[in-house]
Amino acid sequence: MSYFQRIPLELTDEILDYLDAPTLHATLRTATFLRHTSERKLYRRINLDYISSWTQNVSDRHARLFDTVFKNDRLALYVVKLELGDCDPIDEVIRIIGQALKKMVNLKDLYIHGYNYIHHAHLDSVPFSLRRLLILDTVGDSYTAPELPVLSILRAHPNLEELVLGYQELISSELVKALEGEQDSALPHRNGIICPRLKRFDGPDEALRLFLPMRKIESGAMMGCNLKERLLGNDELVDTWLTPALISSYQHLRTLEVWPYHSQNPSFLTIMADLTSLTHLHIVCDISIFLRDNKILLSMGKLPTLRSITLTDDELTWFAPSEAHRILRTVSAVCPNAQEVFLQEGEKEGELDPDDVKYYRYTKGGGFDGTLVGHDVARRPYTAWLYERCLQA
C-alpha cells in the first residue's frame, strides 16, 4: 500500500477502475489514504447482486445499503447507477427505501425489480431526473395490489433516454390513454409529451407501438405481443401498425430486438417492409422453426440497410460448430446486404451471463470466424438479463 502513495493520483484513480466491488470495499477498509476514492468508485455504480462481501442475505444487503446512504449524504451523492430488487424486501427496506432514494440526487440509471420495491420507492416524487430506467414488476406478486403509478413515474422523469417496461402488467390503462391522447390532434397536450427525449424503448409490442410516434426512438425491443393482438387479422394489423405517424417513426429505428413466438410475431412481420433504416437486428426465436418457416427470414433479406443480424435460440440450444456454420451461411445467403451474422452459443449449464455470452460469427468475405465472447449488437446487458428472468417465469 505504501507504493500506492507514490503513484500520481490520476493513475491511482484509473487503477481503481479495474477493481470489482468486493475488492474496493476491502481497499477502503485497509488503506485510509484511498478511502474517499474507493468509496466514490464503490458507490458510483451499485449492483447489489455483486456486493456479496457485505452480507450473505440479499434483503439484508439492500437494507444495509439504504441505511448507509440515508445516514451519509456524501455517499448518497456518489450514486449514479443503481440496480436493486429481485427478492422479497424486508420491513427495514420498505421503511427506508423511499427516503434513501431521495438522498441520491445524482442518480441517473435505475434498474428496479419487484412490485414492493417499485411501490415504496416513490419514483414520482424524487429530486433526481433519470436518464435510464428499467422497471420489472415481478410476475404473480401484484395481481391483488394497487396498480403501480407508471404514468406518474414517467412524467416525473422527462429526461429519460432509455426505458424498459418489462411486463405487460406495467402498461396501465392510464398510460395507454395518455399515449393515445398524444397522437390525437384534437386533444390539448396539457401535460406535454411523455419522455420526449426517449431514444430507446424495450417493452411489449403494444407499448413500443404507442411510444414510437412523437419521439425519435432509434433502438428498441419488441418483447412479444399479447393474445388479443396475436389473434388480429392482416387487415386489422395493418390498421394498427401502419398508420402514417407510425410509418414515419419507423424511419428512426436503427437497432431492434424481437422476441417472436416461434418466429410468428405478427406485429414484426407487418412493419418489416417499413424498417428502411434498420442496420442491426437481434431475433430471439426457435431457430429450427425460424429456418423452416422462413417468412421473417425472407422479409429480412429485403431490408436495404440491414448490416448485422444476431440470432438467439429461445431454448438456449447448444449448436455444434458445423451446425452453427450451416445456420449462419443460410441466413447470410438470404440476406445479401448483411455484412455479419451472429449466432449465440447455447448455455450448457443453463446460466445466462451477459458478460460471458459466446457467439459464432459469419462475415461476408471473411467466412466463419468461430466463437466470440461478449458480443453486443442490438441487445443490451439488461435485456439479456431480462430474457433469463422471462425464461424462468
Q: What is the per-residue pLDDT for 392? A: 44
Report helix, strand or coil for 284: strand
C-alpha cell at 281: 437486428
DSSP string of 63-88?
A: HHHHHHHHH-HHHHHH--EEEEESSP
Question: Residue 373 forms beta bridges with which residues?
Answer: 358
Measured at the CA of 138, the angle between CA 231 and CA 125, to 5 degrees, comes to: 110
Say yes or no: 166 and 256 in one domain: no
Say yes or no: 248 and 168 in one domain: no
Q: What is the per-residue pLDDT for 187? A: 57
Say yes or no: 393 and 249 in one domain: yes
In a domain, 204, yes or no: no
Give the separation between CA 331 and CA 189, rounded to whole angstroms: 45
In a domain, 362, yes or no: yes
Give the separation between CA 92 and CA 114, rounded to whole angstroms: 16
Say yes or no: 24 and 76 in one domain: no
Give the separation between CA 315 and CA 350, rounded to whole angstroms: 9
Q: How far is CA 70 from the centre of its chain?
A: 28
pTM: 0.83
Question: 149: how many CB neighbours lie within 10 A of its CB?
Answer: 19
| Lookup result for grid cell 441487445 | 379
In a domain, 283, yes or no: yes
Q: What is the per-residue pLDDT for 243? A: 93
Question: Residue 280 forms beta bridges with which residues?
Answer: 255, 308
Rg (C-alpha) for the chain, rounded Å, is 23
Say yes or no: 85 and 232 in one domain: no
C-alpha cell at 258: 424481437
Say yes or no: 65 and 11 in one domain: no
Q: What is the per-residue pLDDT for 393? A: 40
Give the separation between CA 157 and CA 123, rounded to whole angstroms: 9
Q: What is the per-residue pLDDT for 110? A: 94
In a domain, 126, yes or no: yes
Say yes or no: 1 and 118 in one domain: no
Say yes or no: 5 and 110 in one domain: no
In a domain, 203, yes or no: no
Q: What is the per-residue pLDDT for 191? A: 65
State the pairing for strand pair 367-373/358-363.
antiparallel
Say yes or no: 33 and 60 in one domain: no
Domain-terminating residue out of 137, 165, 198: 198
Q: What is the per-residue pLDDT for 14? A: 54
C-alpha cell at 268: 414484426
Domain-terminating residue out of 165, 198, 231: 198
Q: What are phi and psi of 32, to 5 degrees?
A: -60, -40
Q: How far is CA 50 from the centre of its chain?
A: 18
Give the separation between CA 79 and CA 43, rounded to whole angstroms: 5
Ranges of the chain with pLDDT below 50: 1, 50-55, 140-142, 350, 381-382, 384-393
Report helix, strand or coil for 331: helix
Q: Which domain holds residue 247?
A: 210-393
Query: Tell me: the pLDDT tens digits for 2-12?
Result: 555 555 555 55
Query: Tell me: the pLDDT tens digits for 345-386?
Result: 776 554 555 556 778 999 988 888 877 766 555 555 445 444
Domain-terminating residue out of 150, 173, 198: 198
How far from 152 is each of 7, 56, 143, 385, CA to CA, in Å? 49, 35, 20, 26
Q: What is the per-residue pLDDT for 11? A: 55
Question: Residue 278 forms beta bridges with which residues?
Answer: none
Say yes or no: 127 and 192 in one domain: yes
Say yes or no: 18 and 70 in one domain: no
Domain count, the chain: 3
